[in-house]
Structure 1
Amino acid sequence: MGTDSPSPSTAPVAGLGAKGAARAVAQHHQAVVGFLLGFFLVLLLYTTVSSQFGSQNAIGVLQSTSTSPAVRTGQNAMTPTSPSPKPNDVKKGDHIKEDNKEQQSNTPNKMEEDRTQHGINGIEKENQTEAKLDDEKVKNPEGGQAAVNDARSDRMEEEDLIRQEIDQGSMIKNDTNIGQVTPRKPICDLSDPRYDICEISGDARALGANRTVLYLPPAGERGADSQEWSIRDQSRKYLEFVGNVTVRSLNASQAAAAPACTSRHAVPAVVFAMNGLTSNPWHDFSDVLIPLFLTTRALDGEVQFLVSDLQPWFVDKYRLILRNLSRHDVVDFNRDGGVRCYPRVTVGLRSHRDLGIDPARAPRNYTLLDFQLYVREIYGLPPPGIDVPYKEQQQRTMPRLMLINRGRTRKFVNFPEIVAAARDAGFEVVPVEPRRDLGVEELARAVDSCDVLMGAHGAGLTNFFFLRSNAVMLQVVPWGHMEHSCMVFYGGPAREMRLRDVEYSIAAVESTLYDKYGEDSPVISDPESIHRQGWQFGMRYYWIEQDIRLNVTRFAPTLHQVLQMLKE
């Protein structure tokens, strides 16, 4: 009865179910299409709005940085004022200073670029965050609005932080360029192993009685801090015999109380010492005259010398050189009670090496040959191109040899015998025993008239500055492995000046040390063991205690070699 016939209540439901399923599918399809269309519209709207927002913010950041008053102020503040130097006064250090100024002036622009880039990166990050939140809003309509509100709050906070950073950066630049002092190149350079030097350009005031030089920076460059250096104002920074000169850069309060000028000078000044190891001709030239030439020759005489520890004998002996390097009076700096004001002051002397010049480091690429020709010109000696007297003067039948005998150490104990041997070899001999009171002018003319300058390693050979090109310096090398020192101190410089260098190394028996200590003493048998004990031991035996008894028979071939060189 009842199982095969449909129930009144279930039959209609089955019919309606088919229609409802179809309607449900249609509605679902419309929902999907609507969702996709809505998502596309939201995405399009988001892209348009975010691009406009990002462009406006990026432009706003760029405009705020490019028109910031702090940048304009900084550029003006980074342009220091200084007196225009003469062409001869311009040095490599000045070019370095200009490069530093240019680099400093570009620093604010670099800071603004960094901040601008940071702002753009922040906006890009912000756009990425909004895109993620829009996706979340589509997926979760109820929680999406809260997330968007939070994101907008975070975005506003980040914008505020960016604006604060930019504003603070502008304040920092204003404080740096207006309230603070632009860093300056240090006045003193203590980096060279041989010498210290200080160079002041601007308001420089020399107080000789205090051995002090003051620098007053321009008013806009005076800070709260001062700087001070104390250096030996000669070419040997570790020489204990030379006193110190103080160089002080004043701060704002000190500059206001600085001593007033008692005299003003239009030329620069150089402060240097004449004492130390001077009175030895080698040290006179190596420690003072060559460094003074390096430091001042490019100024063509327009410089004044402020000499600490002035030595009257030095001024008198080398007056022609000093007068040519400076057309102005030499000032005894230690006794000068005034306040001398100069546009530029150099404290100390440059030096490259012992009795030498490095052209790569010298103004105008000076060489030791330039110095020699300069000295020869000062003393009125023949110019370059004039040959040695033996070839230049036809009446000469024999080359002339100046034989220098030292007075105390490393002297020739058989000096008359050596004079006779040189004459027998075919030389006209001019024997000389240099004295401190011997005038340089007289000695210079005598050396210039000779073809050969001969002597034991020592200060007397410094007169090779007065030899002509192609003349011969004949150096007798004492016992004690002194060949290297002889080459460094005289042989090398002689060749730089186009002189011919000949060296004769004595045998052990030609040294008076052989008689004093015997052949088995390390002083004779092992000189290197003496040198290894320290320079003072080598100095004691081989420089101070030693004299020379030249074996004229052994020495004869060397004289013949020199004679042949002059005849070639």
Structure 2
Amino acid sequence: MKSTRSYPRPESRRTGNGFIITSVLLSLCLLSLIKAQYGQQPLLLILAAGKSRESFELEKAMEALKMLTAKGGDLASRGNEDDEANRVLLDKVSEEKSAKPLCVETSRRSDVCDVEGDVRVKGSSQTIFASPSQATREWKMKPYARKHDQGALAHIKQWTIKPFPDPQGLPTCSDNYTVPAVVFSIGGYTGNLFHDFTDVLVPLFVTTYHFHGEVQFIIPDSKPWWLSKFSQILKQLSKYEVIDADNDQGAVRCFPRVIAGLNFHKELGIDPSKAPNGYSIMDFKEMLRTAYGLERPTAESSGDPWDMRKKPRLLIISRKSSRVFLNERGMSDMAMSLGFDIRIADPDITTDLGKFARLVNSADVMIGVHGAGLTNIVFLPAGAVFIQVVPMGNLEWLARDTFEKPSPDMQLKYLDYRIQTDESTLADQYPKDHPVFTDPQSIQKKGWDELSRVYLENQNVKPHLGRLRLTLLEALNFLPHTRKMTQ
């Protein structure tokens, strides 16, 4: 974002000629110091350090003024007028430096702009008007938590936060609100369950849950089917009907506060030290339990596991197009022999989310091949076991970052099962000495599209039942309501 802001100088006052001359010399010295020491600093280095051009200039002005003070001795010795002038200058710079920034980077993934006072939103033009005391220059941003992902941002409209125009051009309010508004996009990669949660729903919870429903959502890039699918969650976070910014027909909506963008902490996770009221991902899960009427907060003891009605339940996440379990029936039979009650389900995009959430919540163990469907771990009860089957291709980093790391914070026991060459259909597609097997890193270096094509889109799996049996026995041993089994 380019800055067009210029900083005000101290207010002028009547002075004697000596003070004017001193002030001019002081200003020239200050500018000379800044130019000499920092004028050649490339802007790219400034931005790489995470500073705006404005904050950089303010810091250097402060440093230069302090250096000038040190070199010139005690400013007070030059007379009261000089001392007062310098004090005003220093206070002005300090005030600008300490002022609350309008837009901040909440993580490498997200920018959030927070405007208070008389704030006017014209959704049809993606514009937020703020009083000059809040915005002294324009800010441009895209309210989606993948700000460096050009693939995602290509589908996100840009919003502008700008100062009020002159009184004649000030947009008149068509609707007035007493609650704050939050502007966020559901463009990007939404439609993929993992991105629905990690890019939008978890950050939305972090940003808005502390308002206790007293917040108005304004959504550009709207998808009616998405709003319908997640309506129960949205109703937990806001008491008001969503405003479709793209179809607002020139309305100007006036709010006491507007937040544009969502606070992102980490994949499928929340950092309580950064969240309002110390909220955690367990609070998010509790909200989901309320939204969908989930009965099991924990995987508690249910009695004798050999009682058919009280056996530990294993949910197998099925897939139909890629990363398919080719021996699903054999897996099911083997798990039944261990005493599991088996359920098999495919959470495709048409699935009723509430119904599927209740199925997942009934499970004690959930197993599935890496993919968006595993995002359903958010509905598992605390103490449940989650088994991620990792396709071959040195994808442990991907499995770790997306689902393994979030699991402990959700109070889930995590296990993985790593597919070997003879358990993968890649063995039927490539010779044994192909880089797909011998040098997976060379495939990954070609970029995400090639990695996905080879290892995710064109690989099915057939786990060895004997080896998988050991993993399921380990899962049983972790359950709080089942006896250890060694057979």
TM-score, normalising length: structure 2 = 0.76
- 1:324 corresponds in structure 2 to 236
Alignment of 1:217 onto 2:129: no
Distance of 1:359 and 1:176 partners within structure 2:
37
Report the CA distance shift for 1:264/1:483 in structure 2 as closer, same or farther (over 3 A): same
Q: Could you tell me which amino acid in structure 1 is paired with residue 119 of structure 2?
A: A
Q: Is the 8 A contact 2:304 2:310 kept in 1?
A: no
Alignment of 1:334 onto 2:225: no
Q: Could you tell me which amino acid in structure 1 is paired with residue 212 of structure 2?
A: D
- 1:282 corresponds in structure 2 to 194
Deviations 1:453-507 (A, max 9, x none): 1111111111111111111112111111122321221122122111111211111
Alignment of 1:465 onto 2:378: yes
- 2:140 corresponds in structure 1 to 230
Report the CA distance shift for 1:171/1:557 in structure 2 as closer, same or farther (over 3 A): closer
- 1:139 corresponds in structure 2 to none
Please, which of 159, 164, 186 is the counterpart of residue 246 of structure 1?
159
Q: Is the 8 A contact 2:317 2:367 kept in 1?
A: yes
Q: Is the 8 A contact 1:202 1:344 kept in 2?
A: yes
Q: Could you tell me which amino acid in structure 2 is paired with residue 502 of structure 1?
A: L
Name the Cα RMSD after superposition. 3.0
Deviations 1:413-438 (A, max 9, x none): 23223222222332221111222222
Report the CA distance shift for 1:280/1:246 in structure 2 as closer, same or farther (over 3 A): closer
Distance of 1:565 and 1:170 partners within structure 2:
71
How many residues of Structure 1 are paired with residues of Structure 2 in the alignment? 406
What is the 5 A alignment of 1:490-501?
490-501=403-414
- 1:258 corresponds in structure 2 to 170
Deviations 1:284-331 (A, max 9, x none): 111110010011011111100000011111111111110110011100
Structure 1 residue 256 displacement after superposition = 4.9
Select between 557-566 and 302-311 the one with higher mean Cα deviation.
557-566
Q: Could you tell me which amino acid in structure 1 is paired with residue 469 of structure 2?
A: A
- 1:403 corresponds in structure 2 to 316
Report the CA distance shift for 1:473/1:506 in structure 2 as closer, same or farther (over 3 A): same
Report the CA distance shift for 1:177/1:472 in structure 2 as closer, same or farther (over 3 A): closer
Deviations 1:230-278 (A, max 9, x none): 2111111133243233333326x53552111111100000000112111
Report the CA distance shift for 1:118/1:552 in structure 2 as closer, same or farther (over 3 A): closer
Report the CA distance shift for 1:495/1:176 in structure 2 as closer, same or farther (over 3 A): closer
- 1:435 corresponds in structure 2 to 348
Distance of 1:312 and 1:390 partners within structure 2:
44
- 2:211 corresponds in structure 1 to 299
Alignment of 1:424 onto 2:334: no
Report the CA distance shift for 1:203/1:514 in structure 2 as closer, same or farther (over 3 A): same
What is the 5 A alignment of 1:162-561?
166-167=80-81, 184-190=99-105, 192-218=107-133, 226-237=136-147, 238=149, 239-250=152-163, 254=166, 256-336=168-248, 337-382=250-295, 384=297, 387=300, 396-561=309-474
Q: Could you tell me which amino acid in structure 2 is paired with residue 303 of structure 1?
A: V
Report the CA distance shift for 1:394/1:217 in structure 2 as closer, same or farther (over 3 A): farther
Distance of 2:281 and 2:338 partners within structure 1:
32
Q: Which has more helix, going by share of residues?
A: 1
- 1:11 corresponds in structure 2 to none
Q: Is the 8 A contact 1:390 1:400 kept in 2?
A: no
Q: Is the 8 A contact 1:418 1:552 kept in 2?
A: yes
Structure 1 residue 534 displacement after superposition = 3.1
Distance of 1:450 and 1:272 partners within structure 2:
33
SS of 1:485 mapped into structure 2: helix
Report the CA distance shift for 1:393/1:450 in structure 2 as closer, same or farther (over 3 A): farther
SS of 1:196 mapped into structure 2: strand
- 1:137 corresponds in structure 2 to none
Structure 1 residue 452 displacement after superposition = 1.2
SS of 1:546 mapped into structure 2: coil
SS of 1:396 mapped into structure 2: helix
SS of 1:345 mapped into structure 2: strand
Report the CA distance shift for 1:363/1:227 in structure 2 as closer, same or farther (over 3 A): same
Distance of 2:185 and 2:239 partners within structure 1:
19
Distance of 2:125 and 2:245 partners within structure 1:
9
Distance of 2:191 and 2:314 partners within structure 1:
25
SS of 1:446 mapped into structure 2: helix
Report the CA distance shift for 1:216/1:423 in structure 2 as closer, same or farther (over 3 A): same
Q: Could you tell me which amino acid in structure 2 is paired with residue 501 of structure 1?
A: Y
Structure 1 residue 545 displacement after superposition = 1.6
Q: Could you tell me which amino acid in structure 2 is paired with residue 471 of structure 1?
A: A
Report the CA distance shift for 1:283/1:456 in structure 2 as closer, same or farther (over 3 A): same
Q: Is the 8 A contact 2:129 2:163 kept in 1?
A: yes
TM-score, normalising length: structure 1 = 0.66
Instruction: State the percentage of identical aligned residues.
Output: 36
Structure 1 residue 373 displacement after superposition = 2.0
Distance of 1:198 and 1:392 partners within structure 2:
53
Report the CA distance shift for 1:171/1:507 in structure 2 as closer, same or farther (over 3 A): closer
Distance of 1:428 and 1:335 partners within structure 2:
49
- 2:44 corresponds in structure 1 to none
- 1:16 corresponds in structure 2 to none
Distance of 2:208 and 2:305 partners within structure 1:
35
Distance of 2:106 and 2:468 partners within structure 1:
46
Report the CA distance shift for 1:304/1:562 in structure 2 as closer, same or farther (over 3 A): same
Q: Is the 8 A contact 2:106 2:264 kept in 1?
A: no
Q: Could you tell me which amino acid in structure 2 is paired with residue 187 of structure 1?
A: L
- 1:61 corresponds in structure 2 to none
Extract unaligned runs of 5+ from structure 2: 1-68
Q: Could you tell me which amino acid in structure 1 is paired with residue 174 of structure 2?
A: T
Q: Is the 8 A contact 1:267 1:342 kept in 2?
A: yes
